[in-house]
Amino acid sequence: MVPKPQRTILGKVSSYAEEAAAYMRRRRITRTPFARVHYRGGRSAIAADVYPDLAQFWDDLAAAYAAEIKELHALGCRYLQLDDTSLAYINDPVQREHIKDIGGDPLHQHETYIATINKALAVEQLLWQLRAARKG
């Protein structure tokens, strides 16, 4: 009769994986927001030869975030927080002028940001929060 092992070789790996999955289910993960990619530099920060049409840029950005979010979900993440102060900034007339200066539409830029967020967050059973607080 073969004696029962006291520990398995992969016991620690399995235990770690279980602990990591439990952590992912109960803890929030914070990610850089979609708008941050655009808000500081605007059109000049996005290669025109790669993205002559910004619609393709936004679709690709949403797809990249969606892939990351789906991976996090597969690992057990059920609560994702996005910290996006740019949506709060848009209420400030000085910031709306900034959006205009970087080639955006100060009255409608937020709609592009929101549409991109919605495309990327189409993952079932994921609680997400958009934190748009602004200091000052």
Question: What 3-state class would DSSP assign to 131?
Answer: strand
Domain boundaries, the chain: 43-131
Provide the sign of the torsion angle of the four alpha carbons 92, 46, 41, 63, taken in this order. Answer: positive
The 3-state DSSP class for residue 113 equals: helix
Reported confidence tier of residue 10, pLDDT bands at 50, 70, 90: very low
Nearest to 60 by CA among 37, 94, 90: 37
Summarize pLDDT for 84-109 with one digit per residue, the tens.
777 888 888 998 999 999 888 999 98
What lies within 8 Å, CB to CB, of 59 at 6+ separation is: 119
98-104, long-range: CB < 8 A, 24+ apart: 99/39, 99/42, 101/42, 102/39, 102/41, 102/42, 102/43, 102/44, 103/42, 103/43, 103/44, 104/38, 104/42, 104/43
Total-model pTM: 0.71
For 57-85, write each residue's pLDDT tens digit.
999 988 988 888 888 778 777 777 777 77
